């Protein structure tokens, strides 16, 4: 809605500022026209970008205890499944032993009471209690084994240790962050794009995009579109875009690097049609239109158009006009359907 409001305000100001001295009762009125021409849209853009990992995962223990071993060296590459940190397992091993004994007793009791129940030696309730005790101790045993498995943290994927927050012999609480692991199998390039450029290239994700690290300009990397924010920043009126490079493990790229991204439309035939803002009237609610000049009859007719944004002092029109059409470019507030006009032509 902000876009249509800004376009509408500009159109109103432009329309009122032109040909203020013209008397609409006199005919024909001399009008200034603009001939529509389609222009290539494959403009090259460059944006400063920041490199980031495709994924950052904080490692945390799900049980508490004293840290006895770590293999967390910042910047070191780690393999999926590699043990990175361990807390003292002894208390959890004792708990497993205790739960095993309890479950073994409950198992034996269930076998004995079941035999008696079949012969009528015990009641239904005694048999039900034995089954409940068996299931409870089995659950406790499984929970104890799970807690024991939580005394080790392994790498969830191939990656790099980007940060470490603990040291050996420290006491770790449940939920405390131990380290951060980065997945660099792909790297993201994030950058801000002005609203005007986004509007001009709306819906076009088929672009040729490359990136180079600042300071290593001789090497470029091909990157591809991933996503973009749908709402612009309310202060800067820019959209944040994300492009990515795959199989980036062996490159010189590292998260945090500063880069320059170059983007050009992949469709060499892409063209845009634009007319001066002063030629368009209307708003986003009721629609936009222009006054089309008929050279044969020397009259103007109203033509509805679809405005897709602005580029400087021009409105981007994606429907309603063809190359070679002529529109009234000034004094549009004095126009009416079928009005006879004379095209202004500069003296040769």
Domain membership of residue 295 (yes or no) is yes
Q: What pLDDT, on a 0 to 100 scale, did the predictor assign at position 311?
A: 67
Domain membership of residue 118 (yes or no) is no
Q: What pLDDT, on a 0 to 100 scale, did the predictor assign at position 250?
A: 54
Residues 82 and 167 in one domain: yes
Residues 255 and 292 in one domain: no
Structure tokens at 1: 């809605």
Domain membership of residue 199 (yes or no) is yes
Which domain CATH number covers 92? Answer: 2.40.50.100
Report the percent of the chain where pLDDT is more than 70: 84
Residues 141 and 231 in one domain: no
Residues 51 and 66 in one domain: no
Domain membership of residue 150 (yes or no) is yes
Q: How many domains does the chain have?
A: 3
Q: Which of 265, 298, 329 is the last residue before a domain boundary?
A: 265
Residues 332 and 243 in one domain: no
Residues 158 and 194 in one domain: no
**Number of Cβ within a 10 Å radius of residue 335:** 21
Domain membership of residue 166 (yes or no) is yes
Residues 305 and 332 in one domain: yes
Residues 194 and 288 in one domain: no
Q: What pLDDT, on a 0 to 100 scale, did the predictor assign at position 169?
A: 87
Residues 49 and 147 in one domain: no
Distance CA 102, CA 109 (A): 11
Q: Which of 265, 291, 313 is the last residue before a domain boundary?
A: 265
Cβ neighbors of 162 (< 8 A, separation 6 or more) are: 53, 56, 74, 75, 179, 180, 181, 182, 255
Domain membership of residue 111 (yes or no) is no
Q: What is the pLDDT along the chain (348 residues), one digit of tens a residue?
A: 444 444 444 444 444 444 434 454 555 889 999 998 876 655 678 999 999 998 999 999 999 999 999 989 998 999 999 999 999 999 999 999 999 999 999 999 999 999 998 888 889 999 999 999 999 999 999 999 999 999 999 999 999 999 999 888 899 999 889 999 999 888 999 999 887 777 666 666 677 889 988 877 778 888 988 988 888 888 888 899 999 988 766 566 788 889 999 988 765 545 678 899 999 999 878 889 999 999 999 999 999 998 877 766 788 887 889 888 999 999 899 999 999 999 988 654
Domain membership of residue 29 (yes or no) is yes
Domain housing 69: 58-100+132-179
Q: What pLDDT, on a 0 to 100 scale, did the predictor assign at position 12?
A: 42
Residues 164 and 137 in one domain: yes
Q: What pLDDT, on a 0 to 100 scale, did the predictor assign at position 280?
A: 94
Q: Which of 239, 265, 291 is the last residue before a domain boundary?
A: 265
Which domain CATH number covers 220? Answer: 2.40.30.170
SS3 of 283-346: the string is ECCCEEEEEEEECCCCEEEEEEEEEEEEECCEEEEEECCCCCCEEECCCHHHCCCCCEEEECCC
Asked if 97 contacts 162 with a C-beta cutoff of 8 angstroms, the reply is: no
Domain membership of residue 120 (yes or no) is no
Residues 227-272 pLDDT 10s: 888 888 888 888 999 999 887 665 667 888 899 999 887 655 456 7
Cβ neighbors of 311 (< 8 A, separation 6 or more) are: 196, 199, 200, 272, 274
How far from the centroid of its chain's Cα atoms is residue 288's Cα? 31
Q: What pLDDT, on a 0 to 100 scale, did the predictor assign at position 205?
A: 65
Q: What pLDDT, on a 0 to 100 scale, did the predictor assign at position 215?
A: 79
Distance CA 263, CA 47 (A): 8
Distances (CA, A) of 71 to 58, 81, 93, 174, 178: 15, 13, 22, 20, 11
Asked if 206 contacts 269 with a C-beta cutoff of 8 angstroms, the reply is: no
pTM of the model: 0.57
Q: What pLDDT, on a 0 to 100 scale, did the predictor assign at position 312?
A: 65
Sheet holding 152-154, edge to edge: 152-154, 83-87, 65-70, 171-172
Structure tokens at 244: 């990515």
Residues 187 and 174 in one domain: no
Q: What pLDDT, on a 0 to 100 scale, did the predictor assign at position 180?
A: 95
Residues 197 and 250 in one domain: yes
Asked if 241 contacts 263 with a C-beta cutoff of 8 angstroms, the reply is: no
């Amino acid at each position: 809605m902000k876009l249509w409001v800004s376009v509408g305000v500009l159109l109103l100001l432009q329309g009122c500022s032109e040909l203020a001295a013209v008397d609409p009762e006199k005919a024909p009125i001399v009008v200034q026209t603009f001939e529509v021409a389609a222009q290539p849209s494959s403009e090259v853009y460059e944006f400063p970008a920041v490199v980031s990992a495709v994924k950052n995962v904080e490692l945390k223990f799900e049980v508490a205890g004293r840290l006895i071993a770590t293999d967390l060296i910042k910047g070191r590459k780690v393999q999926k499944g590699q043990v990175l940190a361990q807390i003292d397992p002894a208390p959890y091993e004792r708990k497993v032993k205790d739960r095993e004994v309890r479950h073994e007793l409950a198992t034996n009791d269930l076998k004995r009471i079941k035999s008696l129940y079949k012969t009528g030696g015990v009641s239904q309730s005694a048999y039900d209690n034995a089954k409940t005790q068996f299931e409870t101790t089995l659950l406790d045993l499984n929970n104890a084994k799970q807690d024991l498995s939580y005394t080790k943290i392994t790498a969830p994927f191939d990656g790099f240790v980007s940060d470490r927050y603990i040291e050996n012999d420290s006491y770790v609480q449940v939920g405390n962050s131990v380290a951060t692991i980065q997945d660099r199998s792909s790297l993201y390039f994030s950058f801000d794009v002005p609203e005007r450029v986004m509007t001009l290239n709306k819906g076009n994700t088929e672009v040729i995009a490359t990136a180079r690290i600042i300071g290593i300009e001789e090497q470029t990397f091909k990157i591809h579109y991933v996503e973009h924010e749908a709402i612009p920043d309310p202060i800067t009126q820019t959209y944040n875009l994300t492009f990515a490079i795959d199989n980036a493990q062996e490159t010189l790229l590292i998260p945090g690097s500063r880069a320059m991204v170059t983007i050009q439309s992949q469709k060499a035939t892409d063209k845009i049609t634009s007319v001066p803002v002063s030629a368009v009237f209307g708003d986003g609610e009721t629609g936009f239109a222009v006054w089309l000049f008929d050279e044969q009859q020397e009259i103007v007719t109203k033509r509805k158009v679809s405005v897709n944004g602005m580029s400087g002092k021009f409105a981007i029109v994606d429907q309603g006009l063809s190359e070679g059409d002529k529109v009234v470019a000034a004094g549009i507030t004095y126009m009416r359907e079928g009005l006879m006009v004379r095209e202004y032509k500069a003296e040769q």
